[in-house]
Amino acid sequence: MTEDVTLLDAVAATSGGEDLPVSSRFDVLDPATGDVLAQAPDVSVDQLDGVFAVALDAFGTWRHDEAFRRSALRRAAELIEERIDELAEILTAEQGKPLAEARSEFAVSAMWLRYYADLDLPSEVLVNDEAAGYQAVVRRPMGVVAAIAPWNFPISLAVWKIAPALRAGNTIVVKPSPHTPLATLALGQVLRAAFPPGVLNVVSGLDPLGAAMVEHPVPRKVSFTGSTAVGRKVALGAAADLKRVTLELGGNDPAVILPDVDVDEIAPSLYRSAFANAGQICLAVKRVYVHDSIKARLVEALGEIARSVTVGSGMTEGVQMGPVNNRAQLDRVVDLVDDAVEAGARVVAGGAAIDRPGYFYAPTIVEGASDGVRLVDEEQFGPALPIIGYTEIEDAIARANRTEYGLTASVWSGDPERAAQWAPRIEAGQVAINAHGTGVRPDLPFGGLKSSGLGVENGPWGLYSFTEIQVVTGPHRP
């Protein structure tokens, strides 16, 4: 790439360390305007044979040099930091999030790469003596990994797969969402300088390309982040040849607020936990259960914050919330809030799409919608939050659990010990006390219970999920 050609102008799929030529492209829209931003390569299902072949070929060497793998991951982190301004602009342009948050997504991804570069993956020698001989448990790489990502955090959720998969010695083919392929394709191009050809491959295409990756005979593992509906299809597709799967799926994450909280103190943190990334976070607070005695005050405090938020293009300085990422998602949020109002709920702030080009929806606080209303029962994945009153804490916990999902949850109290007594009663992969989602760190496992997923990512547990166990036995090894 020459100096005056930007990453966005030259966006291409990466296979075997080179541009993968394509015969067609699809439009990627700017959610802040609804206009076409760029065209992404529409990699065909037939081309997957070639992409997986180069990934398999690269695996033969990559798996053997652990020290080199660690240094390549560190180099990848440096390359991201060197190009962070350009990369973040592409991410904001296609995803909608404020530029500072796009930068932070790349910065955090560099941190994840370094974490895995530094993490050890030792063999466990269980026995080694003259009498009993040698018995060890070795964690081997699996081969080629197929990684499929959604549009809300295209980069960090792809790197949650790339970093541990490559660290363990696998090679990988990554497919971003067709709504947000550009930043991931650009990342693949930038990281050609970090990895040998074929180790990290990035393809873009429409949904059938994802299904074809799952069914392809070469990958031995599918790591998928997306909706529960598609996750079920991935599990079925992977079952044919028993590919290993990790599924990070949807959530309808509850926050339970006890009567002894300081409402003014918790409101800003609770608001951020629900509305960051315009509410498009798998682990965002999606329902608030608050004790009746403080409900009115909390509704008012959250409404006041929602009304004060600056909504606009993520490229504009000072904007706190960008657009919803795509038309279908905006329509869904409109539909869910309208349905709640028809069912008798009251809109305290927002309540409608903003009248301007693009997919903007005003930050919305709704009260009076309870369980049985779609806004409460379903994953809204957007900037609209229902606040639900309760009288007895047991009842609030039971309602929090009355869902097919179980991703994250939180319990808030003036007395953290009291919250800690109730927290484990919520069926969720992570439960936070007096905060929400604070367990998202490279060193802690992240995954959902029930229909929110299968397996975990991050930490050593995430690394293990990109390995297969092999037992080695033999005579004593001096």
Measured from each CB, the residue nearest to ligand NAD is: 210
The Cα 68–Cα 73 span in angstroms is 9
Binds ligand NAD by CB under 6 A, chosen from 41, 150, 406, 442:
150
324 CB-side CA count, 13 A? 25
| Residues within window 376-395 making contact with ligand NAD, judged by CB under 6 A | 379, 381
DSSP 8-state code for residue 385: E
| Residues within window 264-303 making contact with ligand NAD, judged by CB under 6 A | 282
Q: Which stretch binds ligand NAD (CB under 6 A): 127-135, 203-211, 339-347, 392-400?
A: 203-211
Task: Select 234 or 396, whichever has its Cβ closest to ligand NAD.
Answer: 234
User: Least distance in Å: CB of 399 to ligand NAD?
Assistant: 20
Q: Which stretch binds ligand NAD (CB under 6 A): 20-28, 116-124, 220-228, 367-375?
A: 220-228
Binds ligand NAD by CB under 6 A, chosen from 32, 87, 157, 165:
157
DSSP 8-state code for residue 321: B
Binds ligand NAD by CB under 6 A, chosen from 40, 202, 214, 400:
214
Task: Select 169 or 178, whichever has its Cβ closest to ligand NAD.
Answer: 178
CA 9 vs CA 12, 88, 179, 191: distances in Å: 9, 15, 18, 17
The answer to whether 5 touches 17, Cβ cutoff 8 Å, is no
The Cα 366–Cα 373 span in angstroms is 12
- The reply to whether 97 sits near ligand NAD by the rule CB under 6 A is no
Binds ligand NAD by CB under 6 A, chosen from 52, 59, 115, 151:
151
DSSP 8-state code for residue 465: T
Tokens of 238: 């992977």
The answer to whether 197 touches 19, Cβ cutoff 8 Å, is no
Nearest 10 degrees: Cα torsion 462, 463, 468, 474: -130
Binds ligand NAD by CB under 6 A, chosen from 234, 299, 311, 321:
234
For residue 21, give every residue at least 6 positions away whose Cβ sits within 8 Å of its Cβ, in sequence order, or none: none
Determine whether 300 is an active site residue.
no
Q: Which stretch binds ligand NAD (CB under 6 A): 31-39, 244-252, 271-279, 312-320?
A: 244-252
Binding mask 360-379 for ligand NAD (x = CB under 6 A): -------------------x
Tokens of 175: 């497919």
The Cα 229–Cα 145 span in angstroms is 21
Task: Select 148 or 165, whichever has its Cβ closest to ligand NAD.
Answer: 148
User: Least distance in Å: CB of 440 to ligand NAD?
Assistant: 9
- The reply to whether 448 sits near ligand NAD by the rule CB under 6 A is yes
Cβ neighbours, 10 Å, residue 34: 14
User: Least distance in Å: CB of 426 to ligand NAD?
Assistant: 16
- The reply to whether 454 sits near ligand NAD by the rule CB under 6 A is no
Residue with token string 């549009």 = 151
The Cα 41–Cα 63 span in angstroms is 29
The Cα 411–Cα 434 span in angstroms is 6
Determine whether 248 is an active site residue.
yes
* Active-site residue (options: 282, 367, 379, 457): 282
The Cα 439–Cα 409 span in angstroms is 11
- The reply to whether 149 sits near ligand NAD by the rule CB under 6 A is yes
Q: Which residues pair with 361 in a beta bridge?
A: 353
* Active-site residue (options: 89, 248, 379, 427): 248
Cβ neighbours, 10 Å, residue 138: 15
User: Least distance in Å: CB of 414 to ligand NAD?
Assistant: 31
- The reply to whether 407 sits near ligand NAD by the rule CB under 6 A is yes
| Strands lying side by side in the sheet with 408-412 | 346-349, 364-367, 384-390, 285-291, 253-257, 408-412, 430-433
- Element of type H or E holding 15: strand 14-15
- The reply to whether 226 sits near ligand NAD by the rule CB under 6 A is yes
Task: Select 325 or 413, whichever has its Cβ closest to ligand NAD.
Answer: 325
| Residues within window 173-192 making contact with ligand NAD, judged by CB under 6 A | 175, 177-178
Q: Which stretch binds ligand NAD (CB under 6 A): 106-114, 119-127, 223-231, 253-261?
A: 223-231
Q: Which residues does the annotation mark as catalytic?
A: 248, 282
Question: Can you give the binding site for ligand NAD, defined by CB under 6 A?
Answer: 148-152, 157, 175, 177-178, 207, 210-211, 214, 225-227, 230, 233-234, 248-251, 282, 379, 381, 407, 448, 453
